[in-house]
Amino acid sequence: MVRADARENRARILAAAREAFAEDGDTSMNQIAQRAGVGPGTLYRNYPNRDALVLAINQEEIERLTGSVDQLLAASPPVEALRLWTIDLVAAMRAKNGLGDALSPAAHKAITEQSYGPVIEAITSLLDAGKRDGVIRSDAEPGDFLQLTGALWRAAPERTESILALILDGLSVRPR
Amino acid sequence: MVRADARENRARILAAAREAFAEDGDTSMNQIAQRAGVGPGTLYRNYPNRDALVLAINQEEIERLTGSVDQLLAASPPVEALRLWTIDLVAAMRAKNGLGDALSPAAHKAITEQSYGPVIEAITSLLDAGKRDGVIRSDAEPGDFLQLTGALWRAAPERTESILALILDGLSVRPR
DNA sequence: TTGCGATCTGGAGAGGTCTCCGTTAACGTA
DNA sequence: TACGTTAACGGAGACCTCTCCAGATCGCAA
Residues of B in contact with A170 (CB under 8 A): 165-171
The reply to whether A52 falls in a domain is no
In this structure, what CATH number is given to the domain that contains residue A33? 1.10.10.60
Q: Are residues B9 and B72 in the same domain?
A: no
Q: Are residues B35 and B75 in the same domain?
A: no
Distance CA B66, CA A17 (A): 45
What are the pLDDT digits (tens) for A12-54?
Answer: 999 999 999 999 999 999 999 999 999 999 999 999 999 999 9
Distance CA B75, CA B97 (A): 30
CB neighbours (10 Å) of residue B5?
Answer: 8
Residues of B in contact with A147 (CB under 8 A): 151, 154-155, 159, 163
Distance CA B74, CA B29 (A): 41
Judge whether residue A109 has pLDDT over 80.
no
The reply to whether A81 falls in a domain is yes
Residues of B in contact with A165 (CB under 8 A): 170
Residue A134: which region, alpha, beta or left (left: phi > 0; alpha: psi -120 to 50)? left
Range of the domain at A87: 59-171
Average pLDDT, whole number, for chain A?
A: 95
Q: Are residues A86 and A156 in the same domain?
A: yes
Report the C-alpha dihedral over residues A43, A49, A53, A58, rounded to 10 degrees: 180
Supply the pLDDT for residue A106: 80
Q: Are residues B41 and B80 in the same domain?
A: no
Model confidence at A77, pLDDT cuts 50, 70, 90, reads very high
In this structure, what CATH number is given to the domain that contains residue A78? 1.10.357.10
What are the pLDDT digits (tens) for A130-145?
Answer: 999 999 999 999 999 9
Total count of domains within chain A: 2
Q: Are residues A99 and A70 in the same domain?
A: yes
Supply the pLDDT for residue A174: 81
A141 part of contact set with chain B, CB < 8 Å: yes
HSE-up of residue B90 (Cα within 13 Å, Cβ side): 25
Q: Are residues A40 and A75 in the same domain?
A: no
pLDDT (tens place) for every residue of chain B, 176 residues total = 789 999 999 999 999 999 999 999 999 999 999 999 999 999 999 999 999 999 999 999 999 999 999 999 999 999 999 999 999 999 999 999 999 999 998 877 666 778 999 999 999 999 999 999 999 999 999 999 999 999 999 999 999 999 999 999 999 998 76
Supply the pLDDT for residue B105: 83
Q: Are residues A101 and A137 in the same domain?
A: yes
Supply the pLDDT for residue B110: 66
A101 part of contact set with chain B, CB < 8 Å: no
Q: Are residues B41 and B69 in the same domain?
A: no
Task: Point out the residue among B106, B140, B170 whose CB comes nearest to the CB of A170.
Answer: B170
Alpha helix ranges (H) inside chain A? 4-23, 29-36, 40-46, 50-57, 59-67, 69-75, 78-95, 99-103, 116-132, 142-154, 160-171
Query: Is A3 strand, coil or helix?
Result: coil
Q: Are residues B34 and B100 in the same domain?
A: no
The reply to whether A176 falls in a domain is no
The reply to whether A54 falls in a domain is no
